Structure 1
Amino acid sequence: MIYRLGEFSLDTGRTELSGPHGPVALEPKAYDLLLLLVERRDRLVTREEAIEAVWGGRFISDAAVSTVLKSLRKALGDDGAAQRFIRTMRGRGFRFVADVSNQPAAGRPRIAEESGAATEARQGGSRPCLAILPFRHVGPSGGSGIVADAVPADLIAGLSRLRWLQVLAQETTFRLRGTKSPQSSTLALGATYALSGTIEHVARKIVTSIELSDLRSGAVVWAEQFHGSLEDIHQTRADIASAVLAALEIQIPLNEALRARSCPTEQLDAWAAYHLGLQHIFRFTEADNAIATGYFERATRLDPNFASAFAALSFTSYQSAAMRWTQDRPLAVAQAQAHAERSLDLDPLDPFANLAEGRLFLLLDRPEDGRPWLDRSVQLSPSYAKGYYSRGFAAMLAGRTADCLADMDHAIALSPLDPMLCAMQACKAVALLAAGCPDEAVVWANRGARAPHAHIAMLMIAVAVCQRAGDSSGARAWQAVLRTRYPGASLQRFFTVLPFTDATLRTLLGDALREAGTPE
């Protein structure tokens, strides 16, 4: 792509900035920063977002950022006073303000000296592909031998429902049984990951060891051991399948994001950008939400038919509207709706697309209207922990306490290391308080609020639950944390983030927050 920036042109194919007199010398970080600002020229780029994209999230001093920015402005014939190309919003970030037009770059052969990291990222940046190999049976059969084939078959059936993951068919991978190097064979078939395991029969017990490896690097990404009983072999199979499905929904995207970080921003493909965005979307900060939005926008530009990326954009728009991170809330709601509907149009069987559509109704104060979509998200993927959480969250707002507790317990059991675990714990605390279990509610509220990325709603839930349960010291402690992190916290903001439609629960929490000293 060639971007026209006034008298300059930015050629992403050649990684080159040219001016009226030919190529302009530009250090790599300055080039990366320029490309970032040009690609996201429709909005402000925060300092944190720039550091994440250009420096890979490493700790960088303000002076280092200023030095690169000064170098970039100098290359463009700009300076901090004129700011013809790049405007600095003090304390907020930067924005590219010059006119930009773009055109496709002319085709050219790939440079032979291209960096190994970039080539590897380009080759491995497409949708992850998983080969699930037949498990190896160890020891006497005694009825457990069948599990060595049954568990991989269960996993293939379950993981095939994930729209972001390609899974090789059982008829293909099971032909590799007994080969000397099945991992090498699956790599030749286009797989990027292999899941292998052993089933060991010890007395009346079954020990299942499972390992997920990245075939491109040979590294073990995740491994776990499961213990079950021969007397209940069918339940053992179900438990293993459920745990593995939930773990892989976290481990593979995390590994893909780690690989993508080694690739320059302009060389990220749609899937790499999507997985990088996923690493920010659940951190619950305005800066991370903006970074995630940028990655998802890039993913949808590169692949306009990428359903999950549009669902993710709906999620970030939802966050902006719910958390009041935008001055134009109606626009954010409209964007959440448009992205969710686009995602469903592209792939009505994508669990994330159905989740995004179901969550949309929370912004419209109609949580029950989104229930069919949230039901469908977990029907499509029965191990979709975030689907159960979202459905339980809607149930909490509507005052359906038993349904909320059931879904939160299921989500936590499926994904105990989930990035949204603190939100699950906070919702469970509210439901327990409503159910008349204040002491247990305090335990779960404290767990949710202690998470490093707990946001305003989780802290205010901890204040309300502790206050209502009679733990005044706990309420004061969380109120102090709340005032430090969110000086503008109020009842109005609480009920904007958590739009309860159940009047009884709304009154219960509102009164508790007032008693704890929360302003209206």
Structure 2
Amino acid sequence: MAGSATDQVFQFGGFTLDLGKGTLGRAEQPAFLRPKAYALLTHLARHIGRVVPKSELMDAVWPGVFVTEDSLTQSIREIRKVLGEETIRTVSKRGYMLIPEPVPEPGAQPIVAVLRFRNDGADPADEAIVDGIAEDIINGLARFGTLTVLARNSSFSFASYSPGEWPVVRSCIGADYVVEGSVRRQADSIVCAVNLIDAASASQLWGDRYQADYAGLSAIQQEIVEKIVGRLVVRVNNAGLQRASRQPVASLAAHELVLRGVALLRDPAQSELKEAAAFFEAAIVRDPAHGLAYTYLALSHVLNSEFGPSSDAVLTKARDLADRGIALSPDQATAHRIQSLVRLNMRDHEAAEHHLRIALELNPGDAD
């Protein structure tokens, strides 16, 4: 079965390889490779970020034909001449690796890679179920908008339960955190285990196991994914907050400033709401387009009313801030959820329900 259009497009070294169109180029300027070199690049692209053994490459490009490693070396040399020397890395005694596009600078949103889950069952036909759960987790995490989730093209190049590859995941595709797991279909149920790994230290931050009755596959997948996704987001945000708390405020990125402010808002005592607002204001100075900073600043104004009714002026300011957050992050459920709360305080019940329904539609897995 042919993959989707996004599964056929790869980016590396400033070049774009579109397998569906059969094109290779950079900045709309086409680049050309001979057929064998193109076939070799295609196989490396399908496994981007993974070390591909020489034997596998030779079998893929010259199937059923005896050739020496010189043919492989010559094609690699041709690709490097066109794409640049640093695009393909030689890993001694193992093979070659195609390096993906550089990832954003550290200090912004955390980057998460959901690896391909392992099929612990006896039936290879269950691979579709296993991949489906991992893909649903990718999609579920992406709904929150508070972290960057790598596409399956990059993350599925690595297998779960391979600790030796975790540092490679970080160096090749820039992941701060790795999600790995396994799925096993038993007689009447599906069991899914999932772990969250800090890619820098290769240490496990969290892990859990989920089981659901095997009756209506799609419902089972949804049930398991909903349980996993929310917990993953909380753990990733908590890990990011711990990192941010160890750094001086002046060095924090906008996302980290927002995390610090949200932590103060969630303190049951809510005794430092003004300090929370200061974090959000600093985040806006650092990044004027950070929608969540405006959103949470609006919430801090509503909460900072000594638990009594907010004045019309405060609510109007909060409404305007929440509107700004929605304008900058229209697909962010949190922005609509907090605008709903502001409108509820304004006794504008119709608007409150409207924004809450949008929030639910954007991210039904958000516990808040």
Shorter-normalised TM-score: what interval? 0.5 to 0.7
Query: Taking every aligned residue pair, what percent have the same amino acid on both sides?
Result: 22
1:256 is aligned, of 240, 259, 273, to 240
Structure with higher helix content? 1
TM-score normalised to the size of structure 1? Answer: 0.48
**Which consecutive unaligned segments of at least 5 residues does structure 2 have?**
1-103
Report the counterpart of residue 305 of structure 1 in structure 2: 289
Number of residue-to-residue matches in the alignment: 263
Cα offset, 1:320, TM superposition: 1.7
Whole-Å Cα distance in 2 between the matches of residues 179 and 282 of structure 1? 35
Mapping for residues 29-428 of structure 1, pairs under 5 Å: 124-141=106-123, 144-177=126-159, 181-187=164-170, 188-321=172-305, 323-324=307-308, 329-386=311-368
User: Which structure is higher in RCO with an 8 Å CA cutoff and minimum separation 6?
Assistant: 2
Which structure is larger by alpha-carbon Rg, 1 or 2? 1
**Which consecutive unaligned segments of at least 5 residues does structure 1 have?**
1-121, 387-520
Whole-Å Cα distance in 1 between the matches of residues 292 and 151 of structure 2? 22
Cα offset, 1:348, TM superposition: 1.2
- Residue 169 of structure 1 aligns to which amino acid in structure 2? A
Residues 310, 339 of structure 1: 8 Å contact kept: yes
TM-score normalised to the size of structure 2? Answer: 0.66
Whole-Å Cα distance in 1 between the matches of residues 160 and 279 of structure 2? 42
Cα offset, 1:183, TM superposition: 2.3
CA distances 1:272-317 after superposition (whole Å, capped 9, x unpaired): 1111112111224342322321211111111110001111111111
CA distances 1:386-441 after superposition (whole Å, capped 9, x unpaired): 1xxxxxxxxxxxxxxxxxxxxxxxxxxxxxxxxxxxxxxxxxxxxxxxxxxxxxxx
CA distances 1:51-77 after superposition (whole Å, capped 9, x unpaired): xxxxxxxxxxxxxxxxxxxxxxxxxxx
Cα offset, 1:245, TM superposition: 1.6
Q: Go from structure 1 to structure 2 and tell me whether the alpha carbon gap of 1:178 and 1:219 turns closer, same or farther (over 3 Å shift).
A: closer
Cα offset, 1:233, TM superposition: 2.7
- Residue 294 of structure 2 aligns to which amino acid in structure 1? F
CA distances 1:30-58 after superposition (whole Å, capped 9, x unpaired): xxxxxxxxxxxxxxxxxxxxxxxxxxxxx
Residues 143, 230 of structure 1: 8 Å contact kept: no
* Partner SS, residue 299 of structure 2: helix
Residues 204, 230 of structure 1: 8 Å contact kept: yes
Q: Go from structure 1 to structure 2 and tell me whether the alpha carbon gap of 1:262 and 1:384 turns closer, same or farther (over 3 Å shift).
A: same
Residues 358, 373 of structure 1: 8 Å contact kept: yes
After superposition, the CA RMSD in angstroms is 2.3
Whole-Å Cα distance in 2 between the matches of residues 214 and 325 of structure 1? 43
Residues 194, 214 of structure 1: 8 Å contact kept: yes
Q: Go from structure 1 to structure 2 and tell me whether the alpha carbon gap of 1:291 and 1:178 turns closer, same or farther (over 3 Å shift).
A: closer
Whole-Å Cα distance in 1 between the matches of residues 250 and 108 of structure 2? 15
CA distances 1:142-179 after superposition (whole Å, capped 9, x unpaired): 75432211101111122222222111111221223489
